[in-house]
Structure 1
Amino acid sequence: MKRNDIKVVINRDGKYYVSNYCITEFFKIVNQELIFPNEMGNVFINIKSPTYSVSEYETKYKHIYNEYSPNALLTKSASGSSSLKQPLERPLNFLSSKLYVGNYTAYKFWQFSDWRIADGTNSRRGIDRFLYVPEIGIIGGSFDFWFSQLGISTNEIMKNYLSEVIILPISINKINVNQ
């Protein structure tokens, strides 16, 4: 579930700052062994899912269809209809890898979804990649559609997508973490 009607408020030096725009996403946490990586929808975070990286997926997709998937920014569709192909006709979260951030075990996820919206914020799509720590929650991520609005080239965004670049925290609970 995604909402864009919630505001973030930060107090810095006695002054309050309110966000102009904030996408809030809700996920269901499950710990269930799965056989295939695409058995869960995009509202689920499951650290027991089989791993499947973006580059593995795009390599296989390109081999079969001779193009990048609709998940890639370079192929975003301006139509209002889905360009997803069977059996991946719905948005999904894939577990990509496990890594360590400071003293925490973190799990990297990426979302498979089409673009549908050719301009403006794509809150329906939501977060593209994120880092999840079971004891804490989501600690980093990337919204690729946001970076495309900032003038970053689609080639750079595609490079970040294929290598699963995400924004990482410099601290967790006020404790610095080494990147």
Structure 2
Amino acid sequence: MKKYLIQTVMNKSVLISFILLLFSQLVIAKTSYFFLDLDNDIESYSINAYTLNTKELYNIDKEVILYNISVNSKGNLHSSQYNNLIILFSVLPTFDESNSLWIELNDFPSTLDLISFKDLCILAENRILGANSPYFHPNNYQVITKKNGKYFKSKNAFVQFFLIEDLPVELNVPKSTIQLNQNHISIYEMEKIHDKYNLNYSPFNPFDYSNLFDNRFERFYLSKKLTIQGMNAYKFWSFKAWNSEIDDLDWDRGVDRFIYIPGKGIVAASLDFYFKDPLPKAYPRLPRRAIDNQTFKNNVISEKVMLAEELK
């Protein structure tokens, strides 16, 4: 009888703990919105927006919008800690019947949870430096825009933070850092190195669900330097785990491959995590690409990206 009572108490404790954990996650995982006023110049930050078409990479005709946000030199947040910061919001297609990225609002959404630019910079700093910070999920941060006097809320977006550096090539490159001065190495060349040494943390196959990847090796590698419309550009690829999420998309992968132009921001990208099948059951089971798995993998190895329509 005593043993039964102890077991019952233990079971109840486990159940209560699970419910409290679930409730805390629901409370913590709220959606915050960052307001982008596209009608007016903002003193604190500047915006470089680019439109990507998914046809050239995933063979479906959809749009992605990239908002590169950086601190203005004359703004009240101008300081050495934020000078090299880029906050990137990617607004994604939702594959619904409307084929729109936005929901139009009747008025300024004062009832929504809005995050200030200062708090967004602090969040970025904590994430980049690896400091202790509250629960963070990239998809919990959405965008509200004002354009031509009208307000719009993104249907599906996520945020990433980047630190731009031009340090001596001998120094280590931390993750989330776009280091412009480093030796060039392509995905193809890195894959050969991993094959040669039979390393078990190779993140090159998007469809390998058994691969164990050590996240200590995460970083952005510089693949090549190039010129786009007379501007110096840098092409990077992400050394990150695939299929790290069981019940959700791999939001932390973000822009897998991208091109950065100083003063412009990220002007080309791939978003393989979002367009890769199979999809988690929580999302609409609609085709997100019209290419087979081999073509998808070839795009990874050949480092294909979607270039901004504004730069074509």
- TM-score, length-normalised on structure 1? 0.78
1:83 alignment partner in structure 2: 212
Whole-angstrom CA distance in 2 between matches of 1:114 and 1:71: 9
Question: Larger Rg: 1 or 2?
Answer: 2
Contact kept, 8 Å, 2:191 with 2:204, in 1: the verdict is no
Identity score, percent: 28
For structure 1, which segment, 161-170 or 89-98, has the greater mean C-alpha deviation from structure 2 after superposition? 89-98
1:167 alignment partner in structure 2: 306
Write 1 or 2 for the structure with the bigger share of helix: 2
Whole-angstrom CA distance in 2 between matches of 1:45 and 1:145: 20
Contact kept, 8 Å, 1:111 with 1:129, in 2: the verdict is yes
Contact kept, 8 Å, 1:51 with 1:96, in 2: the verdict is yes
The 3 A distance-change label for structure 1 pair 165 and 119 is farther
For structure 1, which segment, 102-111 or 8-17, has the greater mean C-alpha deviation from structure 2 after superposition? 8-17
2:107 alignment partner in structure 1: none
In structure 1, stretches of 5+ residues that fail to align are: 172-176
The 3 A distance-change label for structure 1 pair 47 and 117 is same
Letter in 2 for 1:35: E
Letter in 1 for 2:142: K
Contact kept, 8 Å, 1:41 with 1:90, in 2: the verdict is no
How many residue pairs get aligned? The number is 165
Contact kept, 8 Å, 1:69 with 1:75, in 2: the verdict is no
2:295 alignment partner in structure 1: 156
Q: Quick check: 1:97 aligned with 2:236? A: no
Query: What per-residue deviation string (whole Å, max 9, x for no partner) do you get for residues 32-78 of structure 1?
Result: 02237xx212210111011111111012212222889224203244x
Look up the SS of the partner of 2:157 in the other structure: coil
> How do 1:22-171 and structure 2 match up within 5 A?
22-35=157-170, 39-65=172-198, 69-77=202-210, 83-84=212-213, 89-115=216-242, 116-118=244-246, 120-149=248-277, 150-151=288-289, 152-171=291-310
Query: What per-residue deviation string (whole Å, max 9, x for no partner) do you get for residues 3-47 of structure 1?
Result: 2233234567776543222121111111102237xx212210111
Letter in 1 for 2:143: V
Contact kept, 8 Å, 1:131 with 1:139, in 2: the verdict is yes
For structure 1, which segment, 13-22 or 46-55, has the greater mean C-alpha deviation from structure 2 after superposition? 13-22
What RMSD in Å do the two structures reach over aligned CA positions? 2.7
Whole-angstrom CA distance in 2 between matches of 1:95 and 1:169: 19
Whole-angstrom CA distance in 2 between matches of 1:170 and 1:94: 25
Query: What per-residue deviation string (whole Å, max 9, x for no partner) do you get for residues 140-164 of structure 1?
Result: 1111111214144321221110000
In structure 2, stretches of 5+ residues that fail to align are: 1-126, 128-136, 278-287
Query: What per-residue deviation string (whole Å, max 9, x for no partner) do you get for residues 101-150 of structure 1?
Result: 11211100111011212453211222211110011111111111112141
Whole-angstrom CA distance in 1 between matches of 2:200 and 2:218: 19
For structure 1, which segment, 12-21 or 119-128, has the greater mean C-alpha deviation from structure 2 after superposition? 12-21
Whole-angstrom CA distance in 1 between matches of 2:204 and 2:175: 13
Whole-angstrom CA distance in 2 between matches of 1:140 and 1:8: 20
| TM-superposed deviation, 1:83 | 1.6
- TM-score, length-normalised on structure 2? 0.47
